[in-house]
Amino acid sequence: MNTLAVELANHSYPIHVGEGLLSDADLYSPYIGPGGVLVVTNETIGPLYLDKVLGALDGVRVESVALPDGESFKTFATLNRIFDVLIEHRFGRDVTIIALGGGVVGDVAGFAAACYQRGVNYIQIPTTLLAQVDSSVGGKTAINHPGGKNMIGAFHQPVCVISDSETLTTLDDRELRCGVAETIKYGLIRDPDFFDWMETNAKAILARDAAAISEAVIRACQNKAEVVAADEREHGERALLNLGHTFGHAIETGLGHGEWLHGEAVGAGMVMAASMSARLGWLRQDSVARVTELLSACGLPLGAPESLSTERLLELMYIDKKVQAGKLRLILLEAIGKGLVTADFDMQALNATLSTCREAA
């Protein structure tokens, strides 16, 4: 097991990465009080891993709730199912919520923890590569709105993250590719050596090589931990973690949540960000080629779907949490390993990017 730390001003917590961690009672016990535990999982992950978690919590008062699986269920109705169980079983402020699942479970359970009785502790147990390298770390929690992705949420840090690599053995190939997209992101925005490493090792990750996956998770989490520690509430550097997301969220919302997976949309968005950066004269064409070739080799989309018009994409991009005073801010690239957040760009370059970076249906 490797343990990293997210060092925050008012709250720090460990990220444990390794094999067979779900059954390790010692990882849970420091964060569980007399109020008991609610395990939030989904209908896919629960049958696979819930019993292991319950076994590690032997002797603890535990209830569980299995949510429907999929991005389309990241809604108020699903959130209320968690509140219903918490209230029905009279859990108090000393409850610990455990999020056992991928990014949707982590986001919804985390938001429930942020809201219930004005905030309770929660543990993240991410079971997808995307959640292990990204969404489980940093305290962003949210649900979707029909008008935009993750528009309703809160910053609420977990007390612990437990990333058990054995859960990835049941992850389907499409979800695994999505996790690779979010992993590549860290190399693009701040760690060029990691991007080089991903160029060499992405195929090993997709082939489910345990050592490559472990290294990717550790290096990605280290990058994210450093960014979050420096900018917990996304007032500056943390916005870089949204590379590809403004484009990607527009795709997800435009198609309907769940039609494309989050990592697929982010992969396309990163290609679009790289392409636009080159149009602005900031990023070299050979760097754009490297980004495109790596994402293509991972089987990820390289642009927005043809079914979404340029006008519709632009409209949706303006429904974004990074819009300030009516100005759209984008995360773009000056080089591989050097991202920037800017509202100072030529709209013609954006329109051209939206028009030309397209993925056939």
Q: Which residues contact 286 (CB under 8 A, 6 or more apart)?
A: none
Rounded to whole angstroms, the Cα distance separating 292 from 290 reads: 5
Q: How much is the pLDDT for 359?
A: 84
Q: How much is the pLDDT for 361?
A: 52
CA nearest to 335, candidates 191, 153, 120: 191
Rounded to whole angstroms, the Cα distance separating 317 from 148 reads: 9
Helix (H) or strand (E) holding 63: strand 62-67
Q: Which residues of the chain have pLDDT under 70?
A: 360-361
Q: H-type helices in the chain, by residue range?
A: 25-28, 46-56, 76-88, 103-115, 129-130, 173-189, 192-206, 210-230, 245-255, 262-279, 285-297, 310-317, 347-356
Q: How much is the pLDDT for 321?
A: 85
Number of domains in the chain: 2
Shared-domain flag, residues 164 and 184: no
Q: Which residues contact 55 (CB under 8 A, 6 or more apart)?
A: 23
Domain that holds residue 324: 173-359
Shared-domain flag, residues 155 and 261: no
Query: What is the rounded radius of gyration, in angstroms, for the C-alpha atoms of the chain?
Result: 20
Q: How much is the pLDDT for 171?
A: 97
For the chain, give the longest Cα–Cα distance.
62
Shared-domain flag, residues 24 and 115: yes
Shared-domain flag, residues 89 and 231: no
Shared-domain flag, residues 198 and 86: no
Shared-domain flag, residues 196 and 313: yes
Shared-domain flag, residues 125 and 154: yes
Rounded to whole angstroms, the Cα distance separating 170 from 172 reads: 6
Positions annotated as catalytic residues are 118, 140, 182, 224, 234, 238, 242, 245, 249, 262
Query: How does the average pLDDT of the chain come out, rounded?
Result: 96
